[in-house]
Structure 1
Amino acid sequence: MVDVLRPVTVPSPGTGEIFQILRDGQARTKAELAALTGLARSTVALRVDALLAAGLLRPAGEAASTGGRPPARVAFNPRAGLSLAVDLGATHATVAVADLSGVILDARTRTIDIGDGPEKLLDTILADGAALLAATADGLPLVGVGIGVPGPVEHSTGRPTNPPIMPGWDRFDVPAYVQRTFDVPVLVDNDVNILALGEQATSWPRVDDLIFVKVSTGIGAGIIAGGQLQRGAQGSAGDMGHVQVPRGAGSERDPDDERDLEALASGSALAIALRAAGHEVHSASDVVDLVRGGNAAAIEATRQAGRDVGEVLATVVNLLNPSIIVLGGSIARAGEHLLAGVREVVYRRSIPLATQHLAIVQSQAGDRAAVLGAAIMVAREVLSPASVDRYVAAKGSKSADSAPI
């Protein structure tokens, strides 16, 4: 049975704020929560009891006694609900079921062609999701679906917007289509944004300022600043691929060459350049194979791609001052060559204060970073203070309706 975090009646304010304190997983007593919030113990007790009744908190044993009965502790219950997380790429789709702390319970990956269009692919993905839920849900409610797609997304509507490698997806109402199967909130975002969330959670949980750069068939960046994913006004923040690349010292490019970063440094661009030089290359994966095989031309082309990415990132570093830049995507995974090119330029062209403690590293999150990020995206939405207030109010309303008269 699907249960949804959505409004039913006007809740008592503040319950969701109490819950945020406990989302770190640490067990606390009601007295400790009262001390942290400055609220009266009776007020805290009412809100904690409501959260326990709604299933969002669980009893967590007793604290040490200071005299008298030991006080009970409560903690976040990540098994209060489940999310369905989806990572759609140009040629792959991964679907996962996660709990509300982002732990992946089960997942499956299949080969796809994103050009098959939204209806056919979403039907396949939703069938996979339903099968996973049937095997893992154990009676737990589905509270949301998060989807990452390989193209620009208007996040407020969940509609892809002019995605260059997704024919048939432009302005398609993905949330409405998914809600025909799962009547829960559906969030859709660019794949590099959910990769940034997944990478931060996996490798850099204490870092509030991080930029994830994906260099694959295309190029994009996910920006986390002040601990929050930055999407911009319409959801297009981080579109590095369409930035014109400055000509660095010693650049062999023609002064009139106005190609953007994606046309110079993406896996597709490298494949075109290497094929023109006489190599049997047709795709980004072929470029990766050449690099891993030690082909000198492919290695130098990848290193130069890193320099071009670095020219754009140097400006980004000066503007946003991140602590970490993470390079991911197939070209970044081909070896250290892209990373070396990026470092060469960024450390030379960015201001010293911005690079004083800057680390530029390869992605460590692995193949499940994207679905983890999609699960985190759902959890942040459905466990926000306002959503929790509504959910607790809905649970309370149902309990009151079913109480004997």
Structure 2
Amino acid sequence: MGSKASRAESPASPGAIFALIRGGAATTRREVARATGLAPSTASLRVEELIDAGWVSERTDGSMAGRPARRLAVNRDRGIASSISLGANHMSVDIADATGASIATRSIPYSAVDGPASALDFGCAQLAEIISESGSTAALLGVTLGLPTPIDATTGTATASIQAPGWDRLDILGELRSRVGGYALVENDANLLAVAALDTVPVPNPHLIAVKAGSRIGSGFVSGGVLHRGASGAGGEFSHTPTGAASVIACSCGNSGCLESVASGAAVVARLRALGADVTTVDEIVTLAGHGDAVIIELVRTAGSLVGEVLAQAVNFVNPHAVILGGAMSSIPDFVASVRAVLFQHCLPVVSSVLSIREIEDGSTAEGRGGIRLLLDAILSPDAIDADLTASRTAITHP
């Protein structure tokens, strides 16, 4: 016999009860008993175990008339979740409490070509510094590392790429754990953007495509609220699709005229330099476009149109609710407008009728938010909570 989706399996484990509390489906002991079908005394004992372990807090809610209720919530002070995201020319470091609420964030100029050992040392040092400056004394729960290359989620290994040289030869998770301890994840940066975009689409369990258009181009795909990585970590990636245009920068994919080699920020920089312009970074393109430079505006529009043409194939195939744009190029209105115009021109009416295209909110911290969300979903899963409580019981029984 099937059970209602709002009910946990009965008898519910402490981890399943924690999931109800974390999701807001049960915020009092009485609601826990009702949602699980457990006897109130049994439900209360399992809630107590979660409180004793530090995963749940219980506070009096004095906002309601009558007898104040005691509300259950994730204990925000249980630990710190963190994310380090490495781009082509920058690194961002973010920390949040156990509920995912941001504590601090910082972005630092940094080149991915400096190699993995240097990047990990620098990133972990920045993480330790930002935690110290926050004044928090909570333990570090774990870290997510975002990289500009496909990641095989089953092995935690990176694909060889120009954007992240040397990472494919590294035990990334092992290196992270040795530096910071706690739980470690590694994920493609565009996938982190896609996860961060989940909260920006006003429908439950949305379908979306996230496109990171910076020095390079990356993309991630979410279906039914679930990130899809594919068989080897390249799920949702369309930036190496041939366009028919001539490449202006080298790309590790080997395809002549692939989208990244003709329409990325690095490709626009290369076209400008060929015209004699003294431009070296995408940030300079953003600044000059903001000043209305006619040559740059035209090149940016062309790049946006090329992205829109290739993206339309993916949009027609998966029929998403939204296309979310991130990365430095997406901060240029003419780029976004060109992507939107071509996308709507090439999409089927039944597809475009439900489609929203926009730049992600707070783009500078989006990958960090996505990394922290993925990390907390792993650390705070029902199985993980149950395993933590089992380990605690074993330690008490066999000190």
Shared topology, TM-score over 0.5? yes
- Report what 1:315 is aligned to: 313
Structure 1 counterpart of 2:383, from 386, 394, 398: 386
Q: Deviations over 1:338-395 (max 9, x none)?
A: 1111121211221111111211112222311121211111101101111011112223
The 3-state SS of whatever aligns with 1:367 is helix
CA contact (8 A) 2:28 2:70 kept: yes
Q: Deviations over 1:123-162 (max 9, x none)?
A: 1221222233334464422211111112222222322211
Structure 2: give runs of 5+ residues left out of the alignment: 1-10, 246-254
Paired letter, 2:212: K
CA contact (8 A) 1:87 1:147 kept: yes
Paired letter, 1:350: C
Paired letter, 1:361: R
- Report what 1:355 is aligned to: 352
Matched, 1:198 2:169: no
The CA distance in 1 between the partners of 2:82 and 2:63, in whole Å, is: 39
The 3-state SS of whatever aligns with 1:342 is helix
TM-score, length of structure 1 as denominator length: 0.85
- Report what 1:20 is aligned to: 19
The CA distance in 2 between the partners of 1:183 and 1:322, in whole Å, is: 38
What is the RMSD computed on CA atoms of the aligned residues?
A: 2.6
Structure 2 counterpart of 1:127, from 113, 125, 128: 125
Q: Deviations over 1:86-140 (max 9, x none)?
A: 1111221222221122222123332222111111221122122223333446442
The 3-state SS of whatever aligns with 2:231 is coil
**Alignment CA distance shift 1:350-1:47 (3 Å):** same
Pick which of 338-347 and 23-32 moved more: 23-32
- Report what 1:346 is aligned to: 343
The CA distance in 1 between the partners of 2:222 and 2:121, in whole Å, is: 32
**Alignment CA distance shift 1:107-1:281 (3 Å):** closer
Matched, 1:264 2:262: yes
**Alignment CA distance shift 1:53-1:214 (3 Å):** same
Q: Deviations over 1:58-105 (max 9, x none)?
A: 1122699999x8764322222211122111112212222211222221
- Report what 1:150 is aligned to: 148
**Alignment CA distance shift 1:171-1:65 (3 Å):** same
1:400 offset after TM fit, Å?
4.3
- Report what 1:33 is aligned to: 32
Paired letter, 1:309: V
The CA distance in 2 between the partners of 1:276 and 1:71, in whole Å, is: 68
Structure 1: give runs of 5+ residues left out of the alignment: 1-11, 248-256
Q: Percent identity of the aligned residues?
A: 35
- Report what 1:53 is aligned to: 52
Paired letter, 2:185: L
1:13 offset after TM fit, Å?
6.3
**Alignment CA distance shift 1:106-1:159 (3 Å):** same
Pick which of 260-269 and 203-212 moved more: 203-212
The CA distance in 1 between the partners of 2:44 and 2:318, in whole Å, is: 42
The 3-state SS of whatever aligns with 2:361 is coil
1:195 offset after TM fit, Å?
1.9
The CA distance in 2 between the partners of 1:205 and 1:40, in whole Å, is: 36
- Report what 1:302 is aligned to: 300
Paired letter, 1:81: G
1:45 offset after TM fit, Å?
2.2
The CA distance in 2 between the partners of 1:205 and 1:105, in whole Å, is: 25
- Report what 1:4 is aligned to: none
The 3-state SS of whatever aligns with 1:86 is strand
Superposed counterparts of 1:217-232, under 5 Å: 217-232=215-230
The 3-state SS of whatever aligns with 2:163 is coil
The 3-state SS of whatever aligns with 1:39 is coil
The 3-state SS of whatever aligns with 1:241 is coil
The CA distance in 2 between the partners of 1:166 and 1:344, in whole Å, is: 32
The CA distance in 2 between the partners of 1:365 and 1:353, in whole Å, is: 30
The CA distance in 1 between the partners of 2:62 and 2:33, in whole Å, is: 15
- Report what 2:5 is aligned to: none
Pick which of 276-285 and 219-228 moved more: 276-285
- Report what 1:325 is aligned to: 323
Structure 1 counterpart of 2:243, from 233, 242, 245: 245
TM-score, length of structure 2 as denominator length: 0.87
The CA distance in 2 between the partners of 1:272 and 1:65, in whole Å, is: 62
CA contact (8 A) 1:267 1:284 kept: yes
The CA distance in 1 between the partners of 2:64 and 2:221, in whole Å, is: 46
Matched, 1:214 2:227: no
The CA distance in 1 between the partners of 2:38 and 2:271, in whole Å, is: 65
CA contact (8 A) 2:81 2:95 kept: yes
The CA distance in 2 between the partners of 1:64 and 1:124, in whole Å, is: 46
Paired letter, 2:45: L
Superposed counterparts of 1:254-293, under 5 Å: 258-293=256-291
1:218 offset after TM fit, Å?
0.7
The 3-state SS of whatever aligns with 1:379 is helix
- Report what 2:8 is aligned to: none
CA contact (8 A) 2:20 2:26 kept: no
CA contact (8 A) 2:144 2:371 kept: yes
The CA distance in 2 between the partners of 1:313 and 1:124, in whole Å, is: 35
- Report what 2:248 is aligned to: none
Kindly tell me the number of residue pairs found equivalent between the two proteins: 379
CA contact (8 A) 1:246 1:312 kept: no
CA contact (8 A) 1:94 1:107 kept: yes
Q: Deviations over 1:266-303 (max 9, x none)?
A: 01112222333444433433333332221222212211
1:246 offset after TM fit, Å?
7.1
